[in-house]
Amino acid sequence: MSTGTQPQSANHPLARIDWDYIEFYVGNAKQAAHYYMSAFGFDQVAYAGPETGVPGRASYLLEQNDLRFVLTSSLTPDGEIADHVRLHGDGVRDIGILVADARAAYDAAIAGGATPVAPPTETKDEFGTIVRAAIATYGDTIHTFVQRDGYRGPFMPGFVEGRRSLAHVAKPGLLAVDHCVGNVGWGEMDSWGDFYARVFGFSQLVSFDDKDISTEYTALKSKVMTDSRHRVKFPINEPAHGKKKSQIEEYLDFYRGAGVQHIAIRTDDIVATIDALRSNGVDFLETPDSYYEMLQERVGTIDEAIGVLRQRGILVDRDDLGYMLQIFTKPLQDRPTVFFEIIQRKGSLSFGKGNFKALFVSIEREQEKRGTL
Ligand code: FE2
């Protein structure tokens, strides 16, 4: 494990940023919206489609506290949405970043070597003006820079407010994105880490080599890039050699290339959150019982009773700033690609190094069932 690199300069156009939205391209946005509402407790807030003047696609904006997910599908067999879904299955297309000045962010990103996707564009409706620009990142994933200080609508032009929530669903109290992880190809982790340093001015928070992250059978490498405020964190994983197939390689095979592996979502009461999600039917990776035998010695005193965590399969890790609790869902679609992490931080900036082994043994069991280990 290593840490370091230059902190982001305070006047970089991407220094004071936050998550804006995450957009998934999916085969059937109407049904996907219902799944994320009924399983994860999101509310539908707005819609864009032919009825709102946006031809060829349907998009549903789902919200929960500071989380904003957009689910988009194509109404035609051609075009970038249909192509994306055919190749990747349901997956994350766009990680939208809230910026103060979208033009300055875009110019800095291009000067840093980013590939342009869409130059800065202003769009208007009765709620004001929004400025957007987009650049490419790993695989077919993009980042849209969103400047919304001149806009008071529900989301952005094209979207019409239409609130819908499911009264019978347990509300899990999901708060905001904590980090968003990308899986990239063999030997590509360092260059994508450099990308976030050059293009975003990010610094490396931590890195893990295959000795940190391996089991008897499988391995991966990871490094975490962050803005100076630790708001927006992008861990990057690549596969590493082991006796059997790395879970990252399995992802790359099914996703047909690099893409978002998981989105970590913050809660301030993980036990209540997991109880609500389980009652809504969400499946989590199982944690071997043996994990809890040494837990107290490894993490010291924590507020939660170990039995309560064991019963729910919640993992714990500690660093010198505090501790964190985490758990991972099973994949969110039939291809074993993107999944969620639920995380509660109690001071810690950790990414769960102490849990990698237990977690990967659990993932290997799932790989074995799929015949891809
Ligand atoms: Fe994570």
Query: Which of 113, 131, 164 finishes a domain?
Result: 164
CA of 351 to the centre of ligand 1 (A): 6
CA of 292 to the centre of ligand 1 (A): 20
Residues 183 and 282 in one domain: yes
Range of the domain at 152: 18-164
Residues 258 and 182 in one domain: yes
CA of 341 to the centre of ligand 1 (A): 6
How far is Cα 143 from Cα 305, in angstroms, rounded to an integer? 40
Ligand 1 (ion): which residues have CB within 5 A?
Answer: 264, 341
Q: What is the pLDDT along the chain (373 residues), one digit of tens a residue?
A: 544 467 778 888 998 999 999 999 999 999 999 999 999 999 999 999 999 999 999 999 999 999 999 999 999 999 999 999 999 999 999 999 999 999 999 999 999 999 999 999 999 999 999 999 999 999 999 999 999 999 999 999 999 999 999 999 999 999 999 999 999 999 999 999 999 999 999 999 888 887 777 777 778 899 999 999 999 999 999 998 888 888 899 999 999 999 999 999 999 999 999 999 999 999 999 888 888 888 888 889 999 999 999 999 999 999 889 999 999 999 999 999 999 999 999 999 888 887 877 777 777 888 888 998 8
Residues 242 and 365 in one domain: yes
Quick check: pTM over 0.75? yes
CATH of the domain at 35: 3.10.180.10
Contacts of 31 (CB under 8 A, 6+ apart): none
How many structural domains does the chain have? 2
In a domain, 11, yes or no: no
CA of 163 to the centre of ligand 1 (A): 31
CA of 65 to the centre of ligand 1 (A): 20
Residues 186 and 327 in one domain: yes
CA of 196 to the centre of ligand 1 (A): 17
CA of 179 to the centre of ligand 1 (A): 7
In a domain, 258, yes or no: yes
Residues 87 and 122 in one domain: yes
